[in-house]
Amino acid sequence: MPYTGTQLFLIYSGLFFAALVFSLLINSLFMRFAHTLGIREKDQMLVRWSSSSKPAFGGIGFFITFLVCFTLHGVLFPGENSTALRPELLGLLAATALGFLMGLADDAYNTRPLLKFLVQVTCGVILVASGTSIDLFEARWANIALTLFWVVGMMNSINMLDNMDGITTVVSIAILTAATVVMIATDSMDPVYMVLLVGTMASLCGFLFFNWNPSRMFMGDTGSQFLGVVLAFVGIRFFWNAHSPTGEWEPARQVIAPIIVFLLPIADTTAVSINRIMRGSSPFIGGRDHTTHHLSYLGLSDGQVALIFIGLSLVNVFLAYVMCRFIEVWTNLHTLLFVSYILVVFITLFTITHRSKAPA
């Protein structure tokens, strides 16, 4: 017998608070035993905004909570165990495990960029092979190429955005919230996805308690690489391949939706890459030249910068809701309005990176 709406609300609410408490407890436990693991202040290759060395345990908590939630689906929804064994979900599990292990190795040993890139490509290949790929072009090879670019790009964007206390955490929560809102608004709630999304959001909220400025813990590459895979999958499943209300093929909506939801990591990575290339330096070498840093150079505190990103993220969640709930037929006017918003946000952030200067 299927659950009623009230029962589902209670199940997902209970799951969220249970995962939140679990995240708080496990991160508290890590803090008690944190001495050297994940702390790399002597590594001259690492450039962090924070001046102090802190444990990078956040990603471990993310992954453990993710695995627990994956297992709990069968308990919360008995009789639907087989739905968690779908190829795309097994592929997600494999890709996140690989991303997690690579991030763990990078936090411990500072792996070579080429190896990191190859592992990221492999994560994309796993997702494609298990049935998760962007469906935009008629040519299969073009869809695969775009999917790999999206997965690798998102894993690097989330990693690059993790440059100031709380930023990546709040942006990731907003993206997962947008996916949840879309499922609810379109009446397409899938219990497996809901359990994974709610559990991951809860683990991020628990981590935010330790990651808000002044932070006591970082997520590290372990967390950013894991989140990069999860968010790339979410982007493909809920935004790139989302069906329009009328079932029509609307490529403009299909492209704009994920850009809106992922606007902040995309804008930050694009602005930083352009600026570094213009200076003749590599986009992949860390530095204190991100949009978040330049907002700080204007005189904002780290907490205020995080609040700005929270505000922008909430606007993006609202726009995603509007797109899926109220726009039945996509028109050129909708394209103009949403593209204008994207350009305003990007140009504003990009301009700030040129108008502000780091203190001497």
pLDDT digit string, tens, across residues 288-297: 888 999 999 9
The share of the chain scoring above pLDDT 70, in percent, equals 91
What does the alpha-carbon distance between residue 308 and residue 304 come to, in Å, rounded to a whole number?
6
* 238: DSSP letter: I
The share of the chain scoring above pLDDT 90, in percent, equals 57
Q: What is the mean pLDDT of residues 65-76?
A: 85
Q: Is the pLDDT of residue 49 over 80?
A: no
CA-CA-CA-CA torsion for 34, 37, 42, 46, nearest 10 degrees?
A: -110
Please tell me the least confidently modeled range out of 64-78, 168-182, 305-319, 338-352: 64-78
Residue 40: band (very low, low, confident or very high) from pLDDT cuts 50, 70, 90: very low
User: Three-state secondary structure along 32-86?
Assistant: HHCCCCCCCCCCCCCCCCCCCCCCCCHHHHHHHHHHHHHHHHHHHCCCCHHHHHC
Q: Is the pLDDT of residue 345 over 50?
A: yes
Q: What is the mean pLDDT of residues 231-255?
A: 89
pLDDT digit string, tens, across residues 185-228: 888 888 889 999 999 999 999 999 998 988 888 888 999 999 99
Name every residue whose Cβ is closer than 8 Å to that of residue 353 and which is 6 or more positions away in sequence: 271, 272, 275, 289, 291, 294
Tokens encoding 67: 């695995």
CA-CA-CA-CA torsion for 160, 352, 278, 168, nearest 10 degrees?
A: 0
Which string of DSSP letters, residue by residue, matches 255-289? HHHHHHHTHHHHHHHHHHHHHHHHTT--TTS--S-
* CA angle at 339 for the pair 337 and 342, rounded to the nearest 5°: 115
Contact 249, 156 (CB under 8 A): no
- Other C-beta atoms closer than 10 Å to the C-beta of 121 total 15
What does the alpha-carbon distance between residue 193 and residue 233 come to, in Å, rounded to a whole number?
11
What does the alpha-carbon distance between residue 287 and residue 321 come to, in Å, rounded to a whole number?
35
Which pLDDT belongs to residue 35?
Answer: 52
What does the alpha-carbon distance between residue 169 and residue 302 come to, in Å, rounded to a whole number?
14
Contact 261, 242 (CB under 8 A): no
Q: What are phi and psi of 46, to 5 degrees?
A: -100, 130
Q: Is the pLDDT of residue 80 over 70?
A: no
Q: Best-predicted range by mean pLDDT among 36-50, 104-118, 161-175?
A: 161-175
Residue type, 69: C
pTM of the model: 0.91
Contact 27, 217 (CB under 8 A): yes
Give SS3 for 162.
coil
Q: Is the pLDDT of residue 123 over 90?
A: yes
Which pLDDT belongs to residue 195?
Answer: 92
pLDDT digit string, tens, across residues 14-29: 989 999 998 988 888 7
Residue 344: band (very low, low, confident or very high) from pLDDT cuts 50, 70, 90: very high
Which pLDDT belongs to residue 34?
Answer: 61
Residue 42: band (very low, low, confident or very high) from pLDDT cuts 50, 70, 90: very low
Residue 70: band (very low, low, confident or very high) from pLDDT cuts 50, 70, 90: confident
Q: Is the pLDDT of residue 131 over 70?
A: yes
pLDDT digit string, tens, across residues 333-343: 999 999 999 99
Centroid of chain to Cα 298: 26
Closest CA relative to residue 179, chosen from 240, 133, 109, 115: 240
Which residue reads 């909708």 in tokens?
A: 334
Tokens encoding 60: 């471990």
Residue 46: band (very low, low, confident or very high) from pLDDT cuts 50, 70, 90: very low
Closest CA relative to residue 286, chosen from 42, 44, 41: 44
